[in-house]
Structure 1
Amino acid sequence: MNDKRFDPARIAKLDNPERRKNLPPEQLLDLLGLTGSEDILDVGAGGGYFTFPAVERTSGIVYALDAQSAMLEYLKSRMEEQKIGRIKIIEGEAEHIPMEDEKVDAVICSMVLHEVDPPDQGLREIQRVLKKGGRALCIEWEHVETESGPPQNHRISSSEMSRVLEGMGFKVLSRQPWTEAFYSIVFEK
């Protein structure tokens, strides 16, 4: 297992009141400007922090991708409990998304790219699966020292992320801090 990956045994940490206060999924999803019929890919879906709010916003399919089967099993059990359809679970890595080209209208990638080695490989895969004109929402750790989170050398600053995205041909639509530790970037193919 990649030593940068989140430990599935700590899944409860991914969905708690403090995290919801700092990273409100509904407000973050608003940044994508969804119209209600998009097919959406949630890269690093984990327990469904963004997957479940996303499925409420579209009549399309929400693809929940994660590299860790334990995370996907947890997400699947939540889907069954809540009797939610239109979520398709996919086991795979951000570096090699098992999906055809230009498959989705929107991508959510929350706290994942700092785990991808190299991060630009994950961005190339997002670019590949995103339809022309499609949008992506990326939430990441700012390159600052904080009490929790990954080591600073695993983090990607918001300015560096913008530079990389623009260098790849994406159009950065917004970049904003949510706390001193987290930022979001919305970009378009």
Structure 2
Amino acid sequence: MTDSATFRPDHAQGLNDPRRLETQVSEAELARLLALRGDEDLLDLGSGTGFYTDRMAGLTTGTVYAVELQAEMSKHYLRRGLPTNVRLLQGDFTALAGLSLGPASVDVACSILTWHEARGGMDLPGLTHILRPRGRLVVIDWRKTPDSWASGPPERLRFSKEEVAAALLPHFTQVDSEDLGRFLFAVTARRGETPSALSPRR
């Protein structure tokens, strides 16, 4: 994965701004989308400084594997202190084979504002290998519509929820999409062998 679309480490402190819970994804919204029982193992694809990783860790007694490509981001997270159930993994979510995770290792994988950083090149076959049967993927990213451009990355780096859902269909079933406020969307999918029809929610 090239670094041209990745978040700059020298701006890392901004990722810990609590206002993100108001302007991006709230704790309640994250909990709804993850839909956990409370004992699942999770995979955070692009954990950055751990702002949302910490919140995932608070929703489960299982392990949260925090995958981050940029070592500087992980250093920021380590300085803040990790929850006891978080395990940092240095790696690239466009090439998951390099991670120390075996088959069927996690129940839910989550990408929060990192799909565009991978330019849509997330390792979906590798992800289905890591997910347990009936495991789920949650993708949250920036909307592509003009009214959302006031915040987030340039338009050229964005994907629509329909584009993300279409990319998931060959690898997942029960693919659903929805808008999250003015700036974001969410796509959820379940691991399976047979592609499903796209089911957008307005």
Shared topology, TM-score over 0.5?
yes
| 2:140 pairs with 1:139 | yes
Amino acid at match of 2:161: S
Q: Write out per-residue CA displacement over residues 87-131 of structure 1, whole angstroms, 9 at most, x where no aligned residue.
A: 1100001111212222101111111111114x2443333222111
Structure 1 residue 139, shift from structure 2 partner: 0.4
The residue aligned with 1:4 is 5
User: Counterparts of 2:122 and 2:54 in 1: how far apart (Å)?
Assistant: 26
5+ long unaligned stretches in structure 1: none
In 2, Cα distance between the equivalents of 1:60 and 1:8?
28
User: Aligned partners of 1:85, 1:163: CA distance in 2, in Å?
Assistant: 36
Q: Distance in 1 between matches of 2:181 and 2:10?
A: 25
Cα RMSD, aligned residues only: 1.8
1:64 aligns with 2:66: yes
Structure with more relative contact order (C-alpha pairs < 8 Å, separation 6 or more): 1
State the partner residue of 1:130: 131
Is the 2:172–2:190 Cα contact (8 Å) retained in structure 1? no
- Is the 1:61–1:88 Cα contact (8 Å) retained in structure 2? yes
The AA in structure 1 aligned to 2:124 is L
1:21 is displaced (CA, Å) by: 0.6
Alignment of 1:20 onto 2:21: yes
Summarize the alignment of residues 1-189 of structure 1 with structure 2, pairs less than 5 Å apart: 2-22=3-23, 23-79=25-81, 84-97=83-96, 98=99, 99-117=101-119, 119-145=120-146, 146-172=149-175, 174-189=176-191
Runs of 4+ in 1 over 4 A off after TM superposition: none
Query: Equivalents in 2 of 1:110, 1:124: separation in Å?
Result: 19
Distance change >3 Å, CA 77–CA 17, structure 1 → 2: closer
* Matched residue, 2:196: none
Greater mean alpha carbon deviation, residues 56-65 or residues 160-169:
160-169
In structure 2, stretches of 5+ residues that fail to align are 192-202
The residue type paired with residue 182 of structure 1 is L
2:43 and 2:109 in contact (8 A); partners too: yes
